[in-house]
Chains A and B, each alone.
Chain A
Amino acid sequence: MVSIEDYGEFETAWCPGCGNFGILKAIKQALVNLGRSPHEVLVASGIGQSSKTPHYLNCNSFNGLHGRSLPPATGAKIANHELTVIAVTGDGDCYGEGGNHFLHTVRRNPDITMIVHDNQIYGLTKGQASPTSEIGMKTKVQTHGVFNMPLNPLSLAISLDCSFVARGYAGKVSHLTSLIEKAIEHKGLSLVDVLQPCVSFNKLNTFKWYSERVYEMDDTGYELNDRVRAFEKSMEWGEKIPLGVFYVNEKPCFEDYLDVLKSGPLYRNPPATEKVNDLIDSFI
C-alpha cells in the first residue's frame, strides 16, 4: 500500500498561504489513490515557483530550464514509457517562455500529465504580469495596467485537439485530486490548468476572488468529445468560472507510434550492437 508519507514532507520556499500547497497536496493524494509508488513516478518541471514542486516530492524528479518542462518530460517518457510522467509548470513558464513547447507537445500527444499552476502572475521574480494576467491588473512593471489580452489555456488546448483538458482550483483540493487522477489515468497528453492564488504578488485574483466565482461542473451538458461545445464552454470566464473536465478525445498517443517501445521500455532493451555491425556490413 502506498501512503502519503511515502511522498515525503519537505520544508518549502513558498510563502505561507500559497495556493501551491493545495496543488502539492492534491498531486500526492491522487498518486496515492491510484496506488502509484514513488519509484513509478517522474515529476518534471521548468522554472518558477510552481517548478519547485519536484523538490518537495519524494519520487523521481527533474527540474530543468525555464519554459521547458515538457521536452525533458517527453524524453523521459520515451526512455521509460512505463513511468507515470507529470510535468509541473506555471502560467509564465508554460504559456510564456515555453509556449512553443506547449503547442507542439499537444500536437505530439505523449502520455504525460501537465499540471499548470496558473496564478496569473510571475511569483519567482516578484510580481510581473504573466500571459494569463487580467486586463487592467497593475504590477510593478505594468504600472498602467495590463493591456495584452490574457491567454486562455483551455481554449488554446481544445483548439489544438489536446486529448484531455481540465481546470481545477487550488482552493478545492479534493476536486483537484479527482481531476489529477483522471488526467493521470487518461492515455495521452492531459492538461490540468489549476487556478492558484498568489498571496504575495497577485492582489486581484485572491482566494476570495476565485472562491466567489468558481463552480464545479456536474455535467457539461455535452459529450466530452464535442470539441465545439467544449471550446464554447472554455470561454466562460468572469462572474462564473467553471471547474472540471472540459474535453476528452481518446486517440493514439505518441508512444503508440514508436515501434521500438513495443518490446518494453528502452532501459530493458539495450541497443543491439550486433544489429549495428550487420548494418555497417551492408555498406561494405
Chain B
Amino acid sequence: MATQLVKGNTAAVIGALYAGCDCYFGYPITPASEILQEASKYFPKLGRKFVQAESEEAAINMVYGAASTGHRVMTASSGPGISLKQEGVSYMAGAELPCVIVDIMRAGPGLGNIGPEQGDYNQVVKGGGHGNYKNIVLAPNSVQEMCDFVIKGFELAFKYRNPVVVLADGVLGQMVESLQFPEVSEKPEIDTEWAVSGTAETRENLITSIFLDFNQLEEFNYKIQEKYDLIEEQEVDCDEYMTEDANIILVSYGISSRICKSAVDQARKEGIKVGLFRPKTLFPFPKEELKTIADSKECTFVSVEMSNGQMLEDIKLAIECSRPTELVYRMGGNLITMDQVLDSIRKIAGEE
C-alpha cells in the first residue's frame, strides 16, 4: 500500500477519489484552494466532472443538482464561503440529499484572516441554514484522517441521505504528513430508489424540500428528527487518551486535540492525572461518553478550542453541568500552545 507525504487539502481529494466521488464543484478561497486545484487536476483524468463555479452559491447549488441524480458529489470552502453555502445546505437537508462538504476553517468573523480557527463550529454543527436540520460533522486531526473522513463522510451521507461536513482548519488543510493510501476504491451505484436519473426507472422519484401543507411539513420534520436520533445512536465516534484515572479531562477536536495530547504527556510526567477526550464526530456529539465519565468520578472538564467556547456549551449540555468546566482558547488565527494548555492543567491541579 502506497504511503506518501501530502498536504491535508490534497488528502481530502484523494479520499474523494477513492470514495467514488465523481463530481466536484468549487470556488477558490484561502486556505482551501488546493482542494479545488487538486480536484481540477485529478477528476478529469479519471473521467469525473469538475467545475470552477462563479461563486460559492453557484457551487453548492451545482452540488444540489448533481446530488439529486444520486452521484457522489463534493465541494469545499472556508468560513466565509461556507456561510454563503448555508442556503443550499438547508435545501439539501430538506430534500434529504447526500453530499460531502469540506470546511477548512479560517479566522473570523467577517473577512477575518486566513489563519486557522475553529469558529465555524456553531454554523456547521448546529445546522447553519434555516430549518430544523442537522449536518453530520466529522472532525479529522491528521492528514490521514482528512482522507479517511472524506471516505467515511460519503458512506454516512448515503447511508442517511444527509449532508456531511468534514470540519478541518487552516493547519490541517495546509500541513504535510504521511498518508497511507486507501486499499479499496469504491464503485458506487446509483440508488434508483430515490435518485432522479432521467430514466424510466426513476421517473416516479421526486426530489423536493417544499411541503405546502403544514401538517405534511411537520410530519417530514418529525421524520428527519428520527433520522438524527438514529445517527446519534449509531454513529458517535470519539477517542479517549489516558482518561481512565484522570480527574482533569481535556476535551478537544481537530488540530487542537494534537496539541492537547502533547500537553497530557507532559502533565503526566509532572504527576498530574489528566486525560484527553477527543470527539471525532461533532454531530453526533459524544454526549453519552462524556456523561459516563462525569458520572463516574469527581473531575473537571476543560474545553480546549480555537473558538470562543462554542464546543464548551455542548460539553456542559452533555454532562448536564454536573462537573466544573473550564475553557482554554485562542482566536484570530492563533494556534493553541501546549504551554497554554499546561498552565491551565497545572492551575486546576493546584486548586484540587
Contacts and interface: CB of A to CB of B under 8 A. Distances in A.
- Whether A and B are associated in the same complex: the answer reads yes
B54 A131 contact: yes
Given A47-B111, A143-B41, A125 B54 contact: no
B66 interface: no
A125 B33 contact: yes
Nearest to B110: A65
Interface string B259-285: 000000000000000000000000000
Contacts, number: 42
B348 interface: no
A140 interface: yes
A99 interface: yes
Contact of A125 (B30, B40, B80): B30
B335 interface: no
Interface residues of A, number: 20
A142 B52 contact: yes
A43 B27 CA distance: 26
Given A143-B41, A144-B44, A128 B36 contact: yes
B37 interface: yes
B28 A125 contact: yes
B57 to A, nearest CB: 9
Most chain B C-beta atoms within 10 Å of own C-beta, residue among A122, A131, A141, A142: A141
Interface string B32-45: 01001100110010
Contacts of B111: 47, 63, 65
Contacts of B55: 67, 96-97, 99
Contacts of A126: 30, 33
Interface string A132-167: 000000001111100000000000000000000000
Interface in A102-129: 122, 124-126, 128-129
Interface string B20-33: 00000001111001
A66 B81 CA distance: 9
A128 B52 CA distance: 9
A131 B80 CA distance: 21
A128 B28 contact: yes
A257 B63 CA distance: 41
Interface in A57-104: 63, 65-67, 96-97, 99
A192 B33 CA distance: 30
B54 A99 contact: yes
A67 B81 CA distance: 12
Most chain A C-beta atoms within 10 Å of own C-beta, residue among B27, B28, B37, B41: B28
Nearest to A98: B55
Contact of B28 (A99, A122, A131, A144): A122
B29 A129 contact: no
A141 B54 contact: no
A141 B40 contact: yes
A143 B45 CA distance: 11
A188 B269 CA distance: 71
A66 B80 contact: yes
Contacts of B28: 122, 125, 128, 141
A230 B27 CA distance: 33
A96 to B, nearest CB: 4
A156 to B, nearest CB: 14
Nearest to B31: A125
Contacts of B44: 143-144
Contacts of A96: 54-55
Contacts of A131: 54
Interface string A20-62: 0000000000000000000000000001000000000000000
A273 to B, nearest CB: 32
B39 to A, nearest CB: 9
A63 B55 CA distance: 19
B5 to A, nearest CB: 20
Nearest to B29: A125
A65 B41 CA distance: 29
A206 B41 CA distance: 25
Most chain B C-beta atoms within 10 Å of own C-beta, residue among A47, A63, A128: A128
A141 B80 contact: no
Interface of A: 47, 63, 65-67, 96-97, 99, 122, 124-126, 128-129, 131, 140-144
9 nearest A-B pairs in the assembled complex, by CB-CB distance: A125-B28, A141-B40, A96-B54, A97-B55, A128-B28, A125-B33, A140-B37, A141-B37, A141-B52
12 contacts: A47-B111, A63-B111, A65-B80, A96-B55, A99-B54, A125-B29, A126-B30, A128-B28, A128-B37, A128-B52, A140-B40, A142-B52
